[in-house]
Structure formats: structure tokens, C-alpha cells
Amino acid sequence: MLLPVTTDPRHRGHPDGCPYQEQRRRLLGEIEDEVRKTREYLGTDTLDPRVMSALGSIPRHEFVPEGSRHLAYENSPLPIGHGQTISQPYIVAVMTHLLEIRPDDAILEIGTGCGYQTAVLAELATSVYSIEYVPELARDAAARLARLGYRNIELRTGDGSLGWPEAAPFDGIIVTAAAQRVPLALVAQLKAGRRMVLPIGRAREEQELSIVVGGQRGPVVARPILPVAFVPLKGG
């Protein structure tokens, strides 16, 4: 089911006279500190400044339940209902950085959730296609992203493991739930030389945030980057 967030030219404004500016600045500092602490995993001690700018501009408090808004700028995941979470901002920043997004890119996201990661992607790419398995989360995310002014996002409810074949190939794919193995249907929708970033592993067991590069000859190789913990990918 398609949801009404259009792919018209993007709009960067947010209806946000934000009372959380200091909290946002503190959060960005905490992310920078954590990146430095994990540089041996990441291979860098700084992230793409465009990614950090996107995180600094997006009102994360708009993406969490009302009762959790006082925690919105903590560097931690938060529950959003239906057994799902909004990811830790550090992880959002790292996954987005690893995608190496270019301004003209079309990005596929598997697992819209509350739409926060979707908004980060939309700040950096020309178009974002996002699939959510839980209809209630998908509807709420579509309404939220439209209210915040995003016009370069298209949302769908369904089995994300199948991807979005009619919009493929994509310049990047991000999966925000843990797959037990690399989803080959998604690899087939990735442009040669571009990246898919996803956690691989079973729920409540060791998972690795990994990079898969499209257009590889022979077996698909997932390069592990960082130990993580995500909810399981739903669907086939």
C-alpha cells in the first residue's frame, strides 16, 4: 500500500521553533565523542559533516511518543510502539555515513519505523523510498513526514525484504532491522559499486553492522563494521 508522501522537489523547512537547540548541540557532541571512541571499528574519527548537519537540523522530539519527548535528544534508542524502536542517534549517524550518499541519489530504506532515519536520508538524497511492515507505524510516519515538509519521500507498507523492484536500481540501501543473512532480493536492486548497510544476525544474539557492495562477482560478501543490536527484519 502506497502512502501519501510525494516525490515532488524536496522541501527543507521544518515547522519547528525548537526549544531543544541546546540539547541538539549536546547530542551532536556526544555522537562525535562516540565516533572517536569507535574509530578502530569505523576506520575514521569523524563522520561526513553533511550527516552531522542533518542530525542537527531534524527535530527528533517530533518522532518519539509524547511521553518520551524529554528523552528525545539522549544518545539512546527509544520505544515507539509495536515492539519497535527509534534507533540510537549515533547508530543513525554511522549507518548514514557508511552509505556515502550523493545529492542526486535515490535511496531505499527498509524499516521506516517512526520516520526519523527516513528524514535524515531525505536531507541528503534526491529521493527516498521507504518500506514499513507495520501499517500503523507507516501511516503515522507518512503523516509526520508530510507535516514536517518533506516532499522527496515515497512510503509503502509491505515486506521490505522484497525491496521495491519497480523503482530499482538504487544508489544505496539501508536496512534498519537485523537480517539473518544478506537479502539477495535487495542486492539485486543495488547499483554496481554502491552500498547496502544493514545489521546481520539473529535477535538477542551477536549482530554485526555490515556493508555489502553491489555488482560483485561471485558470492555476496558482507564486510562487518560494528557490533550492534536491532529488532529482527520482518517478512520473507
Active-site residues, by number, are 87
Check residue 202 and give left, alpha or beta (phi > 0: left; psi -120 to 50: alpha).
Answer: beta
Closest alpha carbon to 3 in 135, 118, 164: 135
Residues 163 and 191: their CA atoms lie apart, in Å, by 13
158 Cβ contact list (under 8 Å, min separation 6): 1, 131, 133, 235
Closest alpha carbon to 202 in 228, 222, 220, 225: 228
**Is there a contact between 117 and 109 (Cβ–Cβ < 8 Å)?**
yes
